[in-house]
Structure 1
Amino acid sequence: MNNLHTKSKMGGSLRAGCGILLFILLFILIGRLLTPYDHLSQNLAEALESPSRSHWLGTDHYGRDIFTRLIYGGQLTWIIAIFATLIAIVIGTLVGLFTAWWGGWFDLIVMRLVDVALAFPRIFIVLLVIGLGGSSIELLIWLLALFSWMETARIVRAEVSTHKNFAYVKAARASGLGTNRILFRHIFPNIAGPVIVSAILLITNIILVESSLSFLGLGVQPPFASWGTILNEGKIDPLGNWWISVPAGVCILVTVAGFNLIGDGLRDLFDPYRLN
């Protein structure tokens, strides 16, 4: 009975998270079919209009339609988060695989460097790099990725350190298979679950960090916009012109909640101890 209850709860989290993210994806992918406006075109005669039939979510200080900017801003937010997460997961997985496999002094040195990197306030380093070198979407993606792979490396290392002593790995080594084949054809498929969960949770963190940087004016730069940029545009008068920032904030919160629900469901799915 407890097992059935756990599976039902796990399935509920996954379904709820997938439903939320599907709604957000449909909004940012096909929502532009519902609006006749361009997200960059300005119309000062319609600046700071409250929500109406012609502008469902109102306009900003330059007369740009908020609904349209939310759609395109969401696309850019997701693009940055997905690419940064993919890069971080690839780097973290490779580092974790090879450090655990080779072990010894290599593992010791690399993991101590990872611990040092995790101890640093990475957001301040990102701010410093952007402040010195300027900001672009490509730079932002790489910075977010390069400061986000360490947790994945530690997770993968722990899993590989356990699996490399299992019988199937010893049999693969005894049969003369090469390191790469053992790691990528035999071990990685068996540890993919924790990596997927790590990726889901990582993308939520990257969305929040990117939104924070853009809100501070250090992330996505005008005329382009992410949800964080739209939040920044609404900070001048957040109460009087609430329709500028509130929808973007809601989109960020709902998206993060969706990913967290999926992460919780997948974590339970891949953790046999929770099912028992």
Structure 2
Amino acid sequence: MKISANHPLAIGCIIIFFIALFVIFGPLFTSYSQHSQNLAISLSSPSIQHPLGTDYYGRDVLTRLIYGGRISLGIAVFSAIIAVLIGTVLGLFTGYYGGFPDLIIMRFVDVMLAFPRLFIVLLIIGLGGSSIPALIWVIALFSWMEIARIVRSEVMSLKNRTYVKSARAQGFSVNRILFRHILPNTINPVIVATVLSISTIILVESGLSFLGLGVQPPNASWGSILNDAKIDPLGTWWLSVPAGFLILFSVIGFNLIADGITEELDPRKN
């Protein structure tokens, strides 16, 4: 795969690379704790001491963005991984076996996809709390449906191929057929769906935190930093603009990567 010749993939990788550098190595360039408060400098505008100003409690916004990015991206990545595992396994078995289990699971998927995901997640979090592990699991449990559909569709088109029939004729177990013969041939759309899921989950988590139902104080995420600015977004632009741009460019970066991978894997290319 020639990344340099694939402009969307190259640009997306560059964006995510620099955002990852920011959240991983950012603490090396700030001397503040993300939780340390100094009410004497509350809502200070950007300065040499605080390049992105301070929030209502006098906390350094740059530091909060760095650690908040770890939480926002961490929730997105772990939720996407869990969702992909659930969706892939269910898609494999429903696509291979079909019948009544396939009917029940796919109708459940249709019903769940008919409701706005954010609404359902809001309801569950309201009942079960909003700790970071809870956020990861709740978001993941409502993000696997599209992946299950994609995998199921691929399996249904592959299960009657000659090499699969040959594996069945040799007496291979269903698990071996699914995970060694069929799964590798479904991996391309799964990779694309995983990358797109990360960008979607970033938006979901940011929306929840902006509403005050996501990451809770004293921890921060990009969405909760936006929430801090909602009283006066223009007057405290150093709270809203940097967090908004980080969310925006993270989503753009992952979407470009997904587009680039799709283009690279297109059998009509070349």
TM over 0.5: yes
- Matched with 2:53 is 58
Contact 2:222/2:244, CA 8 A, preserved across alignment: yes
For residues 67-122 of structure 1, give each alpha carbon's deviation from its aligned partner in whole angstroms, at most 9, with x where no partner exists: 00000000000111111001100000000000011112221221111111111223
SS in 2 for 1:31: helix
1:134 equivalent among 129, 135, 147: 129
> Please, what TM-score do these two structures have when normalized by structure 1?
0.94
How far does residue 132 in structure 1 lie from its aligned partner after superposition? 2.5
Instruction: Indicate whether 1:265 and 2:260 are aligned.
Output: yes
1:255 equivalent among 250, 254, 261: 250
For residues 206-254 of structure 1, give each alpha carbon's deviation from its aligned partner in whole angstroms, at most 9, with x where no partner exists: 0000000000000000000000010001111101111011100000001
Instruction: Indicate whether 1:120 and 2:120 are aligned.
Output: no
How far does residue 185 in structure 1 lie from its aligned partner after superposition? 0.9
Contact 2:3/2:10, CA 8 A, preserved across alignment: no
Instruction: Indicate whether 1:178 and 2:173 are aligned.
Output: yes
How far does residue 47 in structure 1 lie from its aligned partner after superposition? 1.0
Contact 1:194/1:270, CA 8 A, preserved across alignment: no
- Matched with 2:65 is 70
- Matched with 1:49 is 44
In 2, Cα distance between equivalents of 1:78 and 1:86: 12
Task: Mark the runs of 5 or more structure 1 residues left unpaired by the alignment.
Answer: 1-6
In 1, Cα distance between equivalents of 2:78 and 2:21: 19
How far does residue 9 in structure 1 lie from its aligned partner after superposition? 9.1
Percent identical among aligned pairs is 63
Q: RMSD of aligned C-alpha atoms?
A: 1.4
In 2, Cα distance between equivalents of 1:85 and 1:8: 23
- Count of aligned pairs between the two proteins: 269
1:195 equivalent among 190, 195, 202: 190
Instruction: Indicate whether 1:242 and 2:265 are aligned.
Output: no
Query: Counterpart amino acid of 2:113?
Result: L
> Please, what TM-score do these two structures have when normalized by structure 2?
0.96
In 1, Cα distance between equivalents of 2:168 and 2:28: 56
- Matched with 1:20 is 15
Contact 1:10/1:265, CA 8 A, preserved across alignment: no
